[in-house]
A and B are shown apart, each in its own frame.
Chain A
């Protein structure tokens, strides 16, 4: 009967996650769960987020206790139809062992590197069939901004996420940091990975890059998802941008990062420390200063994609966090032909704060 039993396990978010705290259950025993339902909150040393059900079924047992820490892949709950007896579920729980999976054998190396004309860039890949999705992060971000999206989108299509030049673990020495260097790098990466055509998903500055590629190289783009995107209006939060670039210490950086989230408690020490580790690498400071001056000089956005995309015949959607404090939500309507979704209880990092909704919207456009 155990093939009727579906386990709910502790998820693994990112390469470094070893364990997580089950902070709160959102479903009671006896609830019928559908895939995508929000079933619990999990907190790691880096971030807290809601867990969506990967499978559907009747929740028979909540094994994980609220407030307790569990290793990745530990059994937290059991789903099974009513035909399965309590005794069988007890037996399943006592027999369950946390699978010990070697990272390399499990999914292959989680990060890979590509040598492009501009230099080495890091990327993550989830294999699959069909036209791939390419995820492009924003200013100062990296591919882990898609921590809660990449696996969910990979259920529908192959997915790539890259660290743009100057960001994450990609090359830091970039001549003339600006939009041209970024779009060139993305196109070079698509050539490297032999991607003729991709669904581009861009966040913030990554949206601007995606939109510029769509308007200049339409044949390479199957659809466009712009999330809290730059390039759709002039205003941008200068205090955030300049403050983020200038911040050299935890004390300076933390209040700037709080601009990114509706729920500011998500900005924890580990998130601040990780960003400081990036900002302190040689070359990053001058790169960010150069890119900021090029794209957002004097606190205004200098590049626009709205007009060109209006004219383009391309499936396009715009997603915005209702409480975005970096780029005004009013920019969401800049492309009249695009489908617009404003997501509540989310700030600029809407793809992290409301990952389930954003994942649905992205998959829906594929």
Chain B
């Protein structure tokens, strides 16, 4: 039956189904079960925003509340992964990865390479990302480019509940370390999600909207913003194709280039800061491999090169809006 589910509930269902299917799948993280300040009962919090709430009593031996030490438990999760478990470590906010970065980029990402392909590290590190939550500069960043830069890591950032469930299941079944980034402002977004388990392979972009005039490439929250821009543009007679990258590493440049070869125009949208971003990466790839197809300069729409402001009015200006995306698309049409 057609059934709608929020992205938050889709994450919960994926974790539940995978822990049921495979007892080696475990969860580790701060407050994923109880939580500081809870009145003592189990399963009080289920993580900062309650994503894993309800899972503890179903899988009491597969969920571990950890001390407030990311360097300790992320390292432990990576070590457990090399010894046969499939841990899903929750990092609350991606902004906290600084304290456990060595474990991620210098250890987990290197094992397969340094042990001659014989070591597997099937760990998933989940974290909330993105701005718009009034959570200030240290809890709002879109740090996707930092992980995408590192060979040996797979990086996922879904835009809707259907993709979230299938990509999280794929992440858990994957034998390499996966950074799974959940935009907190998408947790409430709903769409049809099958009750059965399913896995979406990495490295296949989704064409969220077809159009022949301009290609808009986005991921995460920027996908609904780009779709909103496309609706505005439609009223002006401009048909935008919106490509949702879904996974940033591996990245599906074939779908982007095929689209640009049809439209001849490209707008890259990224909530990350602009320098060395996903937007600049995709732009460079198209400039190198499909330059002759371009009818206009590539446009990038990103956050500014600045921390996320705490002032609500400034934070709203910081995030690439449908208006800014539509403006960029119009500029490519003028050229």
A residues in contact (CB < 8 Å) with B? 15-16, 111, 113, 169, 172, 248-251, 269, 273, 277, 280-283
Shortest Cβ distance from residue A242 to the other chain B in the assembled complex, whole angstroms:
19
For the complex, give the distance between the alpha carbons of A113 and B1 in Å. 9
Chain A to chain B contacts (Cβ below 8 Å), 13 pairs: A15-B2, A249-B201, A250-B204, A251-B204, A251-B254, A269-B210, A273-B206, A277-B198, A280-B166, A281-B196, A281-B198, A282-B196, A283-B196
For the complex, give the distance between the alpha carbons of A15 and B197 in Å. 23
Chain B interface residue count, Cβ-Cβ cutoff 8 angstroms: 16
Query: Which chain A residues border B200 with CB–CB below 8 Å?
Result: 280
As a 0/1 sequence over residues 60 to 76 of chain B, the CB contacts with chain A under 8 angstroms (1 = contact) are 00000000000000000
Query: Which chain A residues border B204 with CB–CB below 8 Å?
Result: 249-251
B residues in contact (CB < 8 Å) with A? 1-2, 162, 166, 194, 196-201, 204, 206-207, 210, 254
Shortest Cβ distance from residue A294 to the other chain B in the assembled complex, whole angstroms:
23
B197–A282 CB distance below 8 A: yes
Shortest Cβ distance from residue A245 to the other chain B in the assembled complex, whole angstroms:
16
Our pick among B198, B206, B207, B254 for the contact of A282 (Cβ within 8 Å) is B198
Query: Which chain B residues border A249 with CB–CB below 8 Å?
Result: 201, 204
A248–B201 CB distance below 8 A: yes
A111–B1 CB distance below 8 A: yes
A172–B254 CB distance below 8 A: no
Interface of A is mostly: loop
A281–B197 CB distance below 8 A: yes
Please give me the 5 A-B residue pairs with the lowest Cβ-Cβ distance, nearest first.
Answer: A282-B197, A280-B198, A281-B198, A281-B196, A249-B204
Shortest Cβ distance from residue A349 to the other chain B in the assembled complex, whole angstroms:
22
B1–A172 CB distance below 8 A: no
For the complex, give the distance between the alpha carbons of A321 and B200 in Å. 34
Query: Which chain B residues border A282 with CB–CB below 8 Å?
Result: 196-199
A277–B1 CB distance below 8 A: no
Query: Which chain B residues border A113 with CB–CB below 8 Å?
Result: 1
A172–B196 CB distance below 8 A: yes
Shortest Cβ distance from residue A111 to the other chain B in the assembled complex, whole angstroms:
7
For the complex, give the distance between the alpha carbons of A280 and B199 in Å. 6
Query: Which chain A residues border B210 with CB–CB below 8 Å?
Result: 269
Query: Which chain A residues border B197 with CB–CB below 8 Å?
Result: 281-282
For the complex, give the distance between the alpha carbons of A273 and B198 in Å. 14
Q: 14 more A-B contacts (CB under 8 A) besides A269-B210, A280-B200?
A: A16-B2, A169-B1, A172-B196, A248-B201, A249-B201, A273-B206, A277-B162, A280-B166, A280-B198, A281-B197, A281-B198, A282-B196, A282-B198, A282-B199
Query: Which chain B residues border A250 with CB–CB below 8 Å?
Result: 204
For the complex, give the distance between the alpha carbons of A198 and B198 in Å. 35
For the complex, give the distance between the alpha carbons of A49 and B206 in Å. 25
A169 nearest in chain B by CB position: B1
For the complex, give the distance between the alpha carbons of A277 and B206 in Å. 12
Query: Which chain A residues border B166 with CB–CB below 8 Å?
Result: 280
For the complex, give the distance between the alpha carbons of A4 and B199 in Å. 55
Shortest Cβ distance from residue B10 to the other chain A in the assembled complex, whole angstroms:
14
For the complex, give the distance between the alpha carbons of A172 and B206 in Å. 25
Given contacts A111-B1, A251-B254, A280-B166, is CB(A269)–CB(B198) below 8 Å? no
B199 nearest in chain A by CB position: A280
Query: Which chain B residues border A111 with CB–CB below 8 Å?
Result: 1
Query: Which chain B residues border A280 with CB–CB below 8 Å?
Result: 166, 198-200
A249 nearest in chain B by CB position: B204
B205 nearest in chain A by CB position: A250
Shortest Cβ distance from residue A47 to the other chain B in the assembled complex, whole angstroms:
14
For the complex, give the distance between the alpha carbons of A269 and B1 in Å. 22
Query: Which chain B residues border A283 with CB–CB below 8 Å?
Result: 196
Given contacts A249-B204, A251-B254, A269-B210, is CB(A281)–CB(B194) below 8 Å? yes
For the complex, give the distance between the alpha carbons of A16 and B191 in Å. 13
For the complex, give the distance between the alpha carbons of A5 and B204 in Å. 51
For the complex, give the distance between the alpha carbons of A16 and B192 in Å. 11
